[in-house]
Structure 1
Amino acid sequence: MKLTTAIKLGSLLLLAALASGAHAQMDHGKRMAAKAELGTAAALDPQGRLWIASKEQAAGSPAQYVVLQSSPDMGASWSAPRRIQQEPEAVAADGESRPKLAFGSQGQIYIAYTKPLGKPYTGEIRFVRSLDGGQTFSAPVTVHRNRDEITHRFESMIVDREGRIHIAWIDKRDIELAKARKQAYRGAAIYYAVSDDAGASFKGDYKAADHSCECCRIAMALTPQGKAVAMWRHVFEPNVRDHALRELTPDGAPPPLQRASFDDWHIDACPHHGPALAFGADGKRHQTWFGVRGEAGGVFYGVADADGKLGQVQQLGSAQAEHADVLVDGKTITLVWKQFDGKATAIWGRRSTDNGLNWTSGVLASSRGNSDQPHLLATPAGAFLLWRTQDEGVRILPAIPATSATGTLP
């Protein structure tokens, strides 16, 4: 990487750190401490009710919980936060980590989260479920069989069309094995587990890939055929931090790994920026990611055809853009990303209703305080933005730019 690119990247990452502070206070309920972590997940249940999962830590207390809230009116009003654990335990809910939330076809509620352990950068992937609409919750269980005090972090979860729960995470057990054998090992690994009994038990640990990046979130999406696919920042030889993807099969025998981005970004560090992934009904793969392409650094968007060939890549926003998300619904493609201008953070949106031929773009929301990453929600009324900020709390907004410019992407 050239010196000028390295300097630009350093400035970009510094601005990103300033823009994405992890601590804030939730406005509804006033249950969160003044410095609560902002990482929040959201999902709609089969009846269309919106739920969010976040972290609670009472002021002046080390006790931590995952809490659930629901809204019948897309965020206009909220239920009181409900703790899912009987006893407190550590919960990761900032940056690339946050509790994960999903639903089964019969309304089962599934929650996954990382429980940090005593040593730095170590953790366990925990799972809790409710079979009665959130009235009661199972005791937390650790998803993976490996119980070493190492990295099991940055989990992602998805439920496939057969009702199977797939949970993937970043795992460093292979680094420890390599050290014992005095062998080199780049990065970490991607492992996953699968439940085919509504979370009563999990099968695994299945390895999806060696040599993942260490701290970038994993994106997961379903193909038109309903298969679970994971995308992550990979470490290609000799130390190129591009992206890879792979189908996560229920039997732990996934098909060959595919390369998903081709920036050729040589960097001996983890950027702490994971990708986003969505599939259209036509089989095309839509993806966003953070990287450096030549002299350009920032967030990029690309579409791969049904055979996996990536087409033209577009840069989203300025060099300060970060943490993008993508959603595809029929011919409508929605993109959002976070962008800091040195004083305030804005969420930009870009939307096409004709499969990407023409786009409208503009600012969806802004805040001068700390904020979480933006997330897109698929609803019967179209795409909505979920954004949690220090000053405004949880915001649910239609992902349609209020002021926009129309045109074909360059």
Structure 2
Amino acid sequence: MKKILPILFPLLAALTLPAAAHEGHDQGPAARPARIELATAAAFGPDGQLHIVAKDGAHLVWRHSPDLGATWSAPQHVNMQAESIAADGDSQPRIAFNRDGELLVTWTKPLPKPYTGEIRLARLPRDGSAFDAPITVHRDQAEITHRFQNLIVAPDGRVTVVWIDKRDQEAARLAQKPWRGAGVYSAISDDGGRSFQPERKLAEHSCECCRIALALDPDGTPVALWRHVFAPNERDHALARLKADGTPEAVQRATFDRWRVDACPHQGPALAISADGVRHAVWFNQRDGEGRVFYGRPTSAGVNGQRPVGGPAAAHADIAVLGRRVVLLWKEFDGERTRLRAQRSDDDGRHFDPPQELDATAGASDQPRLLTRDGRAYAFWRTADAFRVVPLP
């Protein structure tokens, strides 16, 4: 990969950078210093434009650009009524487009009790005039963890939302029974995100604070990949295809690093699936005493082609597949600056070119994201002072 210069565009004047408490694992909101919440959802829409959603105080703000950020539409509130919004680390707003081309935005609304929340969703009708009032996706209204949501739209129009949920852990606590980790739940919409069926359990014993990856199999079936807690306490990953009601066809082990730790690394996996059904994944785990980002191709018989990605400080990787091309993206701190790096394979992930540095910052930054449009991949990265878009060859 030859050196590609990033397209830098300053943060929009309408988007402020509020400080907020980090939602940590096993720590109260006052246990950590305030952090800038930079988590930004980004995607190319059916219109070919770049769409972003980012936090602005007690609102999410949506804008779109026809030219990779050189110019932008006027900002528009996603939620007209102010409310708490999580936008840091693996707790991110998410966006997708339904079959009618309408924009769907999901986010976690933190509740007063630490580590609790509810999953919210707002829909922008096709006329683009204003977002509908947000709805809570799940029926369960207990003040417990419903967090770390993701969504995907299948070719048949079915909208699937998944999240980390602690209702089973709470039930076990009340019954004075042991329980490992949290759980994964899902809810399905058959009307483009206007309403959702009652939620269903996808899996028990997930990790508590890691994002869930979603991708579509060639037949249009959603596939979920998440950090699971395998007995007695191995924090590897599990994978499942989701049936039409949101329950899994089966839950299979996807990684075998056998990391035994009673904690959550706040680093969920990423998943991409090729047209021939091969699953390509990146994830963070500890193996042989060393924490690393890995790439591999999970199968029912194990992981093919597992290899480390970047150096020991690599983190928060993403992945995209374009034909036989596999693109990896991650950030890596060198002690002074955070580097944005990418790596490419042109033979289905069997061999990779040397890593290439795309950009760097000395300040805070969000997790990088790979976007695709018209057979090309783009790196999207928000830093404390800019949104950065890097077209990849």
TM-score with structure 1 length normalisation?
Answer: 0.87
CA 32–133 in structure 1, closer or farther in 2 if over 3 Å, else same: farther
Looking at structure 1, the residues matched to 18 and 79 of structure 2 have their Cα atoms a distance apart, in angstroms, of 22
Q: Which of the residues 100, 103, 109 maps onto 2:103?
A: 109
- List aligned pairs for 1:1-400, cutoff 5 A: 27-33=11-17, 35=19, 36-57=36-57, 64-305=58-299, 309-360=302-353, 361-391=355-385, 393-400=386-393
Superposed CA deviations along residues 275-322 of structure 1, whole A, max 9, x for unmatched, are 0001011111000100111133210000135x5642121001111111
Identical pairs, percent:
48
Shift of residue 381, structure 1, vs aligned partner: 4.9
Q: Does structure 1 conserve the Cα–Cα contact (< 8 Å) formed by 2:99 and 2:153?
A: no
Separation in 2, partners of 1:34, 1:113: 17
8 Å contact from structure 2 (residues 185, 199) kept in 1: yes
Matched residues in 1 for 2:359 and 2:283: separation? Answer: 21
Structure 2: how far apart are the matches of 1:229 and 1:167? 12
Question: What SS is found at the alignment partner of 2:308?
Answer: strand
Q: Could you say what secondary structure the match of 1:369 adopts?
A: coil
Q: Distance in 2 between matches of 1:84 and 1:205?
A: 24
Which residue identity lines up with residue 15 of structure 2 in the other structure? R
CA–CA separation in structure 2 for the residues paired with 1:48 and 1:308? 39
Distance 1:269 1:261, change over 3 A: same
Query: Any conservation in 2 of the 1:195–1:201 contact (CA below 8 Å)?
Result: yes
Tell me by how many angstroms 1:92 deviates.
0.4
The Cα shift of 1:75 comes to 1.9
Look up the equivalent residue of 1:85 and give its one-letter code.
Answer: N
What is the aligned partner in structure 1 of residue 4 from structure 2?
A: none
Alignment check: 8 A CA contact 2:186 2:247 kept: no
Deviations 1:44-67 (A, max 9, x none): 21121110011001xxxxxx0011
Whole-angstrom CA distance in 2 between matches of 1:284 and 1:166: 21
Unaligned runs of 5+ in 1: 1-24, 58-63, 401-410
Aligned residue for 1:179, secondary structure, equals: helix
User: Structure 1 pair 221/308, CA: closer, same or farther in 2 (3 Å)?
Assistant: farther
Q: Residue 322 of structure 2 contacts residue 375 of structure 2 at CA under 8 Å; is this kept in 1? A: no
Give the paired residue count.
Answer: 368
The one-letter code matched in structure 1 to 2:13 is: G
Q: 1:88 to 1:329 in 2, by over 3 A?
A: same
* Aligned mates of 2:295, 2:75 — CA distance in 1: 36
CA contact (8 A) 1:101 1:110 kept: yes
* Structure 1 counterpart SS, 2:114: coil
8 A Cα contact 2:184 2:203, kept in partner: yes
C-alpha displacement of 1:133: 4.7
Offset at residue 33 of structure 1 (A): 3.5
SS in 1 for 2:171: helix
SS at match of 2:199: strand
Q: Normalising by the residue count of structure 2, what TM-score does the alignment of the two structures yield?
A: 0.91
Distance 1:26 1:250, change over 3 A: farther
Look up the SS of the partner of 2:198 in the other structure.
Answer: strand
In 1, Cα distance between the equivalents of 2:266 and 2:17?
25
Deviation per CA, 1:381-405: give whole Å up to 9, x if none. Answer: 50000100013x11111134xxxxx
Q: By how many angstroms is 1:30 displaced?
A: 4.8
> Are 1:204 and 1:252, in contact at CA under 8 Å, matched by a contact in 2?
no
Deviation at 1:27, TM superposition (A): 1.8
Q: Deviations over 1:196-218 (max 9, x none)?
A: 11112101210000000000000
Q: CA deviation at 1:138?
A: 0.8
**Matched residues in 2 for 1:189 and 1:133: separation?**
38
The residue identity in structure 2 corresponding to 1:397 is: V
